[in-house]
A and B are shown apart, each in its own frame.
Chain A
């Protein structure tokens, strides 16, 4: 598959305290495709995403977006750069004291000189895009989990970003609502040819939305390739993940006893 690179990560290493959580990762994210970062809980998916959106700085390594290393940027340059990025956080991260319209308008008020009538129109366009027409005066607390996620996407899309990042979009949603959100992700991708990066461990989502897959296990990459290559993979760890098999217990009972008894 011929792919143009949007994001290139080289030798990424990061620690939480003394624990190495991302272990020398190197990979590329293709332009105008949906890349899904998968793996079990605690494998480093969300930490990796936080590095890609420059919320965290690595101990070592580079992250080049369109050839510019975001790990070396100063705060001012980074703010400009982040305007190209929309992010849907796990809990949607809406501001509860604001209506949906004000939540979506927030980045436009912060980063542009657009007048209120134009902002009002853009807000209605974005809410319509995610199926929330008529909900502009609602507060986040008045919405269901799925609607909050959609509102979060509307806000992430407010500035017409080039990149859209999703952290566990289906987390906490029932399967039908989660499937609806996947459809929305596909629709956005088709309509705007955005570069999408989705962190998830939901198998149905992976097969539905992914063009390209990066699989992590304990901070290392165990698979990278297209969705077809993922399905055909013979790697035992990949197969285990796809077949929802639990890993074998790492300790024998007597070792476990020694650990918890401190002997």
Chain B
């Protein structure tokens, strides 16, 4: 588990698939931790990368930018970034930035694995 003051990240093994599960606030100060985790996956060209946001209470521009950068890094190897279990308040931010049409979004981790 990786932690900082406002956020911690757990890696969950679900039927052999590793899921990144941050909890707390993804902000200007905590998002570099999430970025580090995502880059460790994209460097190994892992696909899909699944991120579960169920326990995230806040996300700011740096959090959104972190997902945008990860997806950009995955594009050359046709990797998929799947975001699951998105709380309503976080979904609104994705909707506003129109990125709900760009990322693959799923209701549950199981749906993300199957999809």
B-contacting residues of A (Cβ < 8 Å)?
108, 111-115, 117-118, 121-122, 125-126, 159-160, 191
Contacts and interface: CB of A to CB of B under 8 A. Distances in A.
Nearest to A117: B69
Contacts of B69: 117-118, 121
A118 B62 contact: yes
Given A121-B68, A121-B69, A115 B32 contact: yes
A162 B61 CA distance: 13
Given A125-B61, A125-B65, A160-B61, A118 B96 contact: no
A182 to B, nearest CB: 20
29 contacts: A111-B28, A112-B28, A112-B29, A112-B62, A113-B29, A113-B32, A114-B28, A114-B32, A115-B32, A115-B35, A117-B69, A118-B32, A118-B35, A118-B65, A118-B69, A121-B65, A121-B68, A121-B69, A122-B61, A122-B65, A125-B61, A125-B65, A125-B97, A159-B28, A160-B27, A160-B28, A160-B60, A160-B61, A160-B62
Contacts of A126: 61
Interface residues on B, range: 10 to 19
A225 B35 CA distance: 46
Interface string B53-74: 0000000111011101100000
Given A112-B29, A117-B69, A122 B35 contact: no
A114 B27 CA distance: 10
Nearest to B32: A113
Nearest to B92: A191
A126 B62 CA distance: 11
A161 to B, nearest CB: 10
Contacts of B66: 118
Interface of B: 27-29, 31-32, 35, 60-62, 64-66, 68-69, 96-97
Contacts of A118: 31-32, 35, 62, 65-66, 69
Contacts of B97: 125
B9 to A, nearest CB: 17
Given A117-B69, A191-B96, A122 B62 contact: yes
A227 B61 CA distance: 32
Contacts of A111: 28
B29 to A, nearest CB: 7
Contacts of B61: 122, 125-126, 160
A12 to B, nearest CB: 31
A177 B13 CA distance: 54
Task: Choose among B27, B60, B65, B97 the residue with the greatest number of A CB atoms under 10 Å from its CB.
Answer: B65
Most chain A C-beta atoms within 10 Å of own C-beta, residue among B35, B62, B66, B97: B62
Interchain residue pairs A-B with the least CB separation, the first 3: A121-B65, A160-B60, A112-B28
